[in-house]
């Protein structure tokens, strides 16, 4: 869990090679020089013994009936307009179907028991981020958990986590929605992917059951903050910074100066407070004592096998094993998986 204080590219070659070729002499020039055209064969004299044909009698030209002027053939109308109309109609149909499917999935109109699978992929931060950007935004995740909790056809929730962690505030916002869903009688189960560490483990620890693989990286219970002092870089480059502030710590963490001793103590206070909250919440979520969690909370990452031995996860299993466990906790024997965060046309347009 992090606590952070924080010419144009050369174009390609424009050289275009051309194939060179030798231009042929024009036939008129060849004729003026007494040469045959380049494309013709040399003229051979006719043999003397060749018989001559009798001259043909010229016939008077015969008059031809005047051709009737034919009306111009009707031109075919362009089909571009037709295809454009059909394409627009198809898009409208898809939009209506997508919006309807989204409405059915989020309002409980659909039939049958569902288990919602909600992904937490990438670094975790508060706010809203585009799906697939590599950042797991709390706004979207919280919205999906809340919608699933309010959906009558959704009986349980599975969080599919693959994240190295992020900010404590992001995980705490998500944890609020997890607790709300559990209070409404909706079990929440975690399925870990390659990694669920730090803030991502913070979220997992608040669910009813945790599955991982033996090779999953998890744990990393701890808090970190950093400050970069670039004052020497400013000095070497002749950059002078003049600061106007209302309090001594208003620019605490600025990179143009080092931290004072008092600021360092205050930063450590922030880290310690966040760490204590982290440890207490993990202990409560996992049913462990604070002392047991503190023994594991030196910031290290645990592989799945060690995590299971130390009680950080419950068992080995993939997404479908986690879904079966969620169904068991919900008391249902059959279900269908429902992915509220899947990318659809409606999610891209609205």
H or E element that contains 184:
none
- Please write down the HEC assignment for all residues of 23-43: CCCCHHHHHHCCCCCCCCCCC
Rounded to the nearest 5°, which phi and psi values hold at 77? -70, 145
Contact 27, 37 (CB under 8 A): yes
- State how far Cα 161 lies from the chain centre: 15
Contact 207, 159 (CB under 8 A): yes
**Given 245, 250, 264, 309, the catalytic residue:** 250
**Given 191, 198, 213, 274, the catalytic residue:** 198
Residue 167 DSSP symbol: B
Say which residue the tokens 């001259």 belong to.
Answer: 55
Annotated catalytic residue 114: no
Q: State the sign of the Cα–Cα–Cα–Cα dihedral 98, 99, 100, 104.
A: positive
Contact 311, 293 (CB under 8 A): no
Annotated catalytic residue 186: no
Taking the CB of residue 200, how many other CB atoms lie within 10 A of it?
33
Q: State the sign of the Cα–Cα–Cα–Cα dihedral 23, 28, 33, 37.
A: positive
d(CA 302, CA 221): 10
Positions annotated as catalytic residues are 198, 250
């Amino acid at each position: 869990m992090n606590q952070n204080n924080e010419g144009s590219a050369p174009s390609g070659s424009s050289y275009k090679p051309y194939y060179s070729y030798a231009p042929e002499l024009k036939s008129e020039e060849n004729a003026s020089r007494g040469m045959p055209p380049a494309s013709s064969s040399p003229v051979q004299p006719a043999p003397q013994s060749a018989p001559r044909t009798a001259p043909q009698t010229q016939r008077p030209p015969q008059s031809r009936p005047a051709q009737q002027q034919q009306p111009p053939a009707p031109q075919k109308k362009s089909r571009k307009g037709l295809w454009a109309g059909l394409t627009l109609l198809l898009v409208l149909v898809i939009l209506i179907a997508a919006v309807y499917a989204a409405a059915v999935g989020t309002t409980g109109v659909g039939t049958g028991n569902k288990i919602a699978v909600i992904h937490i992929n990438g670094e975790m931060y508060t706010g809203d981020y585009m799906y697939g950007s590599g950042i797991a935004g709390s706004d979207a995740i919280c919205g999906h958990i809340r919608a699933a909790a309010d959906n009558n056809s959704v009986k349980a929730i599975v969080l599919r986590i693959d994240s190295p962690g992020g900010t404590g505030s992001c995980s705490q916002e998500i944890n609020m929605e997890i607790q709300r869903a559990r209070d409404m009688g909706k079990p929440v189960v975690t399925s870990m992917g390659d990694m669920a560490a730090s803030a991502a483990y913070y979220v997992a620890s608040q669910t009813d059951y945790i599955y991982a693989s033996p090779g999953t990286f998890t744990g990393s219970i701890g808090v970190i903050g950093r400050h970069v002092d670039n004052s020497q870089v400013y000095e070497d480059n002749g950059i002078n910074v003049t600061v106007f502030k209302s309090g001594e710590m208003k620019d605490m963490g600025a990179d143009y100066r080092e931290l004072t001793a008092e600021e360092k103590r205050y930063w450590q206070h922030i880290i310690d407070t966040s760490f204590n909250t982290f440890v207490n919440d993990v202990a409560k979520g996992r049913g462990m004592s604070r002392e047991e969690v503190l023994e594991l909370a030196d910031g290290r990452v645990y592989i799945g096998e060690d995590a299971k031995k130390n009680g950080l996860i419950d068992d080995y299993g993939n997404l479908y094993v986690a879904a079966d466990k969620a169904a068991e906790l919900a008391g249902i024997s059959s279900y269908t998986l429902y992915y509220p965060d899947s990318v659809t046309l409606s999610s891209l347009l609205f």
